[in-house]
Amino acid sequence: MRAGSTAPEVPAPHGLLAGRCVVVTAAAGSGIGGATARRVLEEGAEGVVIGDTHERRLAESARALAEEFGAARVHAVRCDVTVEEEVGALLDACTARHGRIDVLVNNAGLGGTAELVEMTDEQWSRVLDVTLGGTFRCTRAALRAMRGQRDGGVIVNNASVVGWRAQRGQAHYAAAKAGVMALTRCAALEGAELGVRVNAVAPSLAMHPNLVKVTTPELLAELTAKEAFGRYAEPWEVANVIVFLASDYSSYMTGETVAVSSRHP
């Protein structure tokens, strides 16, 4: 067994986001978004507003978080990030409840596997619209909201190592995630004038139910074998890096994409 092949215990919280108000997209269920919502609350966030298109899972996630952390700290709003009005309603819910938005985590994204020669325009456009277009819409709305705040704010985007590395059947997803990285860099320059930092994480392989649905067992086994630790990341391990980027510990970082990966080159 390789060193690090077993996930460590979740580290104890240190109040890194004490008093912050956080919005997380695609936060229903047990993936990176759900893990992020939980970690920001564990790290002392005043409140979290979670969005997702799956209303039942969203309600279940909000109920579970509210039972553990208190109903006053958790609010859920159905949000399709391809619809500007729903994006606006999600962020407005945070300002209505807390008077501000300190952190936005753009987690929403759509994957899938399709060889380029077989890929349809609809497949290409849908992945780009959710993954890149959704990040753009939410970032635009957050910058508009944060520019009038005394302390600015922080935006953390969820990219992917596939934005750097080639993988068969992932042309649409890779293009979208590379676009998220470029958007992060450009938004960071504009955000700096507004007191807003913008960074991104790039996970390699974080296991969650949605990944299992869109990936074959054979491909998952192949990808896992390429990881230096011989295992996939737990969603909370990615969430921890998101928390770092959202916290004052990364106060001089902007425009960066941080790989959350142990994958071989």
Q: Is residue 217 part of a domain?
A: no
The parts of the chain modelled with pLDDT lower than 70 are 1-5, 207-216, 262-265
Q: Is residue 11 part of a domain?
A: no
Sheet strands side by side (includes 257-260): 74-78, 47-52, 21-24, 103-106, 153-158, 196-203, 257-260
Q: Is residue 226 part of a domain?
A: no
Number of Cβ atoms within 10 Å of the Cβ of 115: 10
CA atoms within 13 A on the CB side of 75: 21
Q: Is residue 2 part of a domain?
A: no
Residue 212: per-residue pLDDT: 45
Q: What is the CATH classification number for the domain harbouring 92?
A: 3.40.50.720
Residue 244: per-residue pLDDT: 98
Backbone torsion region of residue 7, taken as left when φ is above 0, otherwise alpha when ψ lies between -120 and 50, otherwise beta: beta
Token pair belonging to 68: 């553990």
When divided into structural domains, the chain yields a total of: 1
Q: 102, exposed or middle or buried, with CB in 10 Å at 0-12, 13-18, 19+?
A: buried
Residue 211: per-residue pLDDT: 53
Residue 207: per-residue pLDDT: 65
Q: Is residue 106 part of a domain?
A: yes
Q: Which residues are catalytic?
A: 173
Residue 8: per-residue pLDDT: 84
Backbone torsion region of residue 187, taken as left when φ is above 0, otherwise alpha when ψ lies between -120 and 50, otherwise beta: alpha
Residue 263: per-residue pLDDT: 65
Residue 45: per-residue pLDDT: 98
Domain assignment of residue 105, given as a range: 21-203+239-260
Residue 1: per-residue pLDDT: 42
Q: Is residue 233 part of a domain?
A: no
